[in-house]
A and B are shown apart, each in its own frame.
Chain A
Amino acid sequence: MPIDKDTVKYTAHLARIDLGDKELEKLSTQLHGILDFIDKLSKLDVKDVPPTSHILPINTVLRPDEPRVSLPVEKVLANAPSREANFFVVPKVIE
């Protein structure tokens, strides 16, 4: 199944990645080629095959409802590109 430039552009938007025009052009060609290669999977009959989303045969992993020490707030914000008091700051979110 081929992929066209518009789809790549929309997908980049879904992924919140800004692409320049040249980049978009190059990427679309490359992705088209990759998806073409990936298309060999469509030849297989997988109708009755169950999907594997977890390779390890374990289930129901739980932990007790017991409190642990949280991170000190200075460590939480130590890497923040922008902070105000003990908050992270982001550009205004329009509602």
Chain B
Amino acid sequence: MNLNTLTAHELLEKLKNKKTTSQEIISSLYTRIKEVDSKVKAYVRLNQGQPPLCASENALTGTVPVTIKDNISTEGLNTECCSKILEGFKPPYDATVIRKLKSSGVTIFDLKANMDEFAFGSSTENSFFGPTHNPWDLECVPGGSSGGSAACVASDEAIWALGSDTGGSIRQPASFCGVVGLKPTYGRVSRYGLIAFASSLDQIGPLTKDVEDSALLMNIISGFDPMDSTSADFPVPDYTRSLGLDLKGIKVGIPKEYFVEGMDPEVKEIIEEAISKLKSLGAECKDVSLPHTEYAVPVYYIIATAEASSNLARFDGVQYGFRTKEKIQNLIDMYKLTRGAGFGEEAKRRIILGTFALSHGYYDAYYLRALKVRTLIKQDFDRVFMDFDCIVTPTSPTPAFKIGERTADPLKMYLSDIYTISVNLAGLPGISIPCGFTKKGLPAGLQILAKPFAEETLFRAAHAYEQDTEWHKMKPKL
């Protein structure tokens, strides 16, 4: 059996018993990548691969390699956010999560995972390096923006991976690729070193083959960081202690606003079955209402793009990355031509939209108003969580769509995130776990949400469901 097909916890066991070595694991990954990545394209800059950075042999988790999304800073390893404007950029420092992984003995895999440029997208079609293909159906998207991370875990080209989630960018690709994806509570995991998209929404999180791996990875990356003013100074529990528990007495809310027109009927059926399964495991499921759900997408596309327009202003050709080679008369030309040529279409669209929302005369009507509606959305969740432990929803209204299907109409693409976006606006933790397949063999994901810093509840519910099903054991035929 190939090592690359195992989970991290299985490999850790083997390493502990000296039945394998980190070199062997990495070799098996390289073999798999050679085998299938020309079809899946989960990784970028393959021809520039460097030998993987090995952590110390005698550290805790004994060097199971982890794949990193291309927007998380790794010292000395290209980190380009899959954008032309950051071509060749090698950060002079490690993100905090990378430091934590290294000190836990986890090897940072030398190849970075593909993504939508600057995390702008829901399909990984906006990558400067071209799209990643869904391992379950190569003509379909893997989801986005952490499409590369999700795909490589699904195709066993990685053992486990890190992605980032601003509006669903871990959870939605996890559901499209049939893997487990978790977005932590805002502030649970340090953002220091994550190349920012929307500062008040971004979080780094794990994409894994099963719930246990997710808990293991969360144990390592979570925690207060003095380099991040928005990181929470709350203790990190051992998330593996939430595994293997039952769901008796767990109160689950099902928001009616998430089961409306436009939802794929097969997905609807799959989700309803999953909810039945939760009931059979002891959960008390009841309908609830999140009345401001329909406003989440517009609010997000103001706040996120406004913050992004400011966060991406530093990409101007002065200190790093791409600088225009055209003849320039002055500084303003350099800025405009660099940014005009360096950013892709979606990036330009969002930056200009965000700039507009903050500009003089429009700030109150757009940005300020969006901040107020954000309060209303948060209050919806607060109210429900007074009486419920979790909220359960579909992760996405549809399974993976075809490459090219939604690229003509940006708005259509934005609406893919309709179930995941509110969670970032409210700062809540959310996990997506595989819960079935459509007739065409495409995965569907169940999203479970909990109160802030209640990831333990997520792990408890997710693990109980997972262990009573076989979805996580299925692999795509590549």
Contacts and interface: CB of A to CB of B under 8 A. Distances in A.
Contacts, number: 164
A79 B226 CA distance: 26
Contact of A91 (B322, B328, B359, B365): B328
A56 B187 CA distance: 7
A81 B369 contact: no
A15 B335 CA distance: 9
Nearest to A1: B365
Contacts of A19: 340, 348
Contacts of B317: 81
Nearest to B427: A55
B351 interface: yes
Contacts of B339: 15-18
A92 B299 CA distance: 40
Contact of B336 (A18, A41, A80, A94): A18
Interface in A1-26: 1, 3, 7-8, 11-19, 23
Nearest to A18: B340
A40 B369 CA distance: 11
A90 B352 contact: no
A38 B352 contact: no
Contacts of B349: 27, 30-31
Given A27-B352, A93-B331, A46 B230 contact: no
Chain B, interface size: which category? 35 or more
Given A18-B337, A61-B229, A91-B331, A76 B376 contact: no
Contact of A34 (B330, B410, B427): B410
B316 interface: yes
Interface in B343-375: 343, 348-349, 351-353, 355-356, 359, 365-366, 368-375
B51 interface: no
Secondary structure dominating the interface of B: helix
Nearest to B341: A18
B426 to A, nearest CB: 7
A86 interface: no
A16 B366 contact: no
A4 B328 CA distance: 29
B401 interface: no
Contacts of B186: 55-56
B323 A40 contact: no
Contact of A80 (B302, B319, B370, B371): B319
A13 B65 CA distance: 44
B361 to A, nearest CB: 10
A90 B324 CA distance: 12
Nearest to A28: B352
B353 A79 contact: no
B255 interface: no
B263 interface: no
Contacts of B376: 44, 46, 49
Contacts of A34: 301, 353, 410-411, 414
Chain A, interface size: which category? 35 or more
A1 B172 CA distance: 31
Interface in B306-338: 309, 313, 316-323, 328-337
B232 interface: yes
Interface string A34-70: 1101111110101001111111101001010000000
Nearest to B188: A56
Interface stretch (B87-95, B120-128, B206-214, B278-286): B87-95
Nearest to B317: A81
A63 B298 contact: no
B295 interface: yes
Contacts of A75: 92
A71 B330 contact: no
Given A16-B316, A49-B375, A54 B355 contact: no
B334 A17 contact: no
B28 interface: no
A78 interface: yes
A91 B369 CA distance: 40
Q: List the 8 shortest-distance A-B pairs measured between CB atoms, nearest first.
A: A18-B340, A51-B371, A79-B320, A55-B427, A18-B336, A81-B323, A46-B372, A75-B92
16 contacts: A8-B352, A14-B355, A17-B340, A17-B343, A27-B348, A27-B349, A37-B297, A40-B295, A49-B373, A53-B371, A55-B186, A78-B90, A79-B89, A79-B92, A80-B319, A91-B329
Given A30-B410, A56-B186, A79-B89, 20 more contacts: A11-B355, A15-B351, A17-B352, A18-B340, A18-B341, A27-B348, A33-B410, A35-B353, A37-B297, A38-B366, A41-B299, A51-B371, A51-B375, A52-B375, A55-B186, A56-B230, A58-B232, A58-B233, A82-B323, A91-B329
